[in-house]
Structure 1
Amino acid sequence: MRLLLVEDDNHVAAALSAVLARHGFHVTHARSGEEALQALVPEGNGFGVVLLDLGLPDQDGYEVCGKIRKRTSTPVIMVTARSDVRSRIHGLNMGADDYVVKPYDTGELLARIHAVSRRTAHEDPTTGGEDTLLLGPVRIELPTRQVTVDGAVIQLTRKEFDLLALLAQRPGVVFRREQIISEVWRTSWEGTGRTLEVHVASLRAKLRMPALIETVRGVGYRLVAPAA
């Protein structure tokens, strides 16, 4: 996923960009409100999420958020030290999709990025529609929960389907183990790590595509879209 990071502090931006890159994001850094607005032309310019700091040198971050919202529907997450309720409410009223207060936990920030990108995702031209995901020979029908490979139906358990659908909605993006457990199993990571590994192994075997789901050591998993 392409991500626009709007942050005037180069040291903060470099550290955060390195973390995001390790999790599969392609980060563009804008140091001012004007740079951010230019980067989003035309119509979002393919960015999946904007991380917007409020303390910018040329414009107030709230003002920048309002301008972004007039130009594109790209999700905006405000990242700031302003923790009072009034500031949060104002940010959301200006069009932000989420509001994260510094200092924050990196895992929480990554989870929020994935959450807002899924909530606001538009139909992609590479899919067969917003309810169908096409990944090479793999076809995932979300309403009917049916998966086919080269036209052949693959029988999956409920959790196997949920896991595959989660990864398939963002090909190439690394999902942390904790996030997968939370979203698919609706529980915490403790004691469920082996369950996730078993389901990944089962999916690879049933789809007969061991390279489809890649293990990112020490982090989690990502789906590698196969050639058509």
Structure 2
Amino acid sequence: KEVGLLDADIYGPSIPKMMNLKGNPELTPKNLMRPLKNYGIACMSMGFLIEETAPVVWRGLMVMSAVEKLLRQVDWGQLDYLVIDMPPGTGDVQLSVSQNIPIAGAVIISTPQDVALLDAHKGAEMFRKVHVPVLGLVQNMSVFQCPKCKHETHIFGSDGVRDLAKTLGLDILGDIPLHVNIRETCDSGQPVVISQPQSDAANAYLKIAMEIVRRLPVPPA
């Protein structure tokens, strides 16, 4: 399957670092940007267009314009899936994306703590209001296991996302543990599913990905 990844976090793009990609996109003869590619995934991010440490100090209209360009002025080619990584909240980015392209489904990701769940709840309700199906929720940083004694600690709480899923009438798609390997592989630009494909952390991501694909509507032939 051909997969594209759009980093729609205009103010804090992180996909370039996590996917170990640098450089400016080339332009096609039709003046479209070519995504940068690594690990078989075509990626586009605001981070490719600005210096790594440069802040993006823009008002809402400029952010909406940037999102539209990242959607419309990129030569994605023939994709089976386009994954859009959005920032937290219910702001200009979410509104721009939902108004510009048809979305097959949204996935809400949150830690189990109450403060994060407030935003997750609002995010789910926002997608419902703009008629985007919510496929389910993912509980991130669900549990920390001590690497020495194997004792498990629920640092951010244990069942917050599950309780929210029940409130919203949605399913839990999976849990991502709080693990040093995930942090290290993200920082080094070597995703854990690539660098440690047999690990429990990689399996957690793969199970969630398969569950998402299973719930997506079948594309027209």
* TM-score range relative to shorter protein: 0.3 to 0.5
TM-score by length of 2: 0.37
- Larger strand proportion of the pair: 1
- By relative contact order (CA 8 Å, sep 6+), the higher-ranking structure is 2
Greater Rg over alpha carbons, structure: 1
